[in-house]
Amino acid sequence: MEAERLIALGRHALAESGTAQDIVAEAWQAQALAQAIGSHLALCGPLELRGEARGLSETGEYPAWGAGGPRAGG
């Protein structure tokens, strides 16, 4: 599953983080993943989860990503 792969990538990247900036970048990656999962569940998930998932999909904005961008697509 794609989400599991992205979580594993995030864990590895966080473990390798050497600076506070790296850690913050991984926090933004985790937010982008949560937002992507929320969007998917809001559209395709069980009816009883769609309202809460919609709220998760509308989490705040992230900063300019630079060349790499978020690992999780929205």
Are 44 and 57 spatial neighbours (Cβ–Cβ below 8 Å)? no
Q: How is the chain split into domains, by residue range?
A: 2-57
What's the pTM?
0.72
For Cα atoms 46, 52, 56, give the angle at the middle one, nearest 5 degrees: 115
Predicted local distance difference test score (pLDDT) of residue 65: 56
pLDDT per residue as tens, the chain (74 positions): 587 888 898 899 999 999 998 888 888 888 888 888 888 889 998 999 888 888 877 766 666 555 567 777 65
DSSP code string of the chain = -HHHHHHHHHHHHHHH--SHHHHHHHHHHHHHHHHHHHHHHHHHS-HHHHHHHHHHHT--------SS--SS--
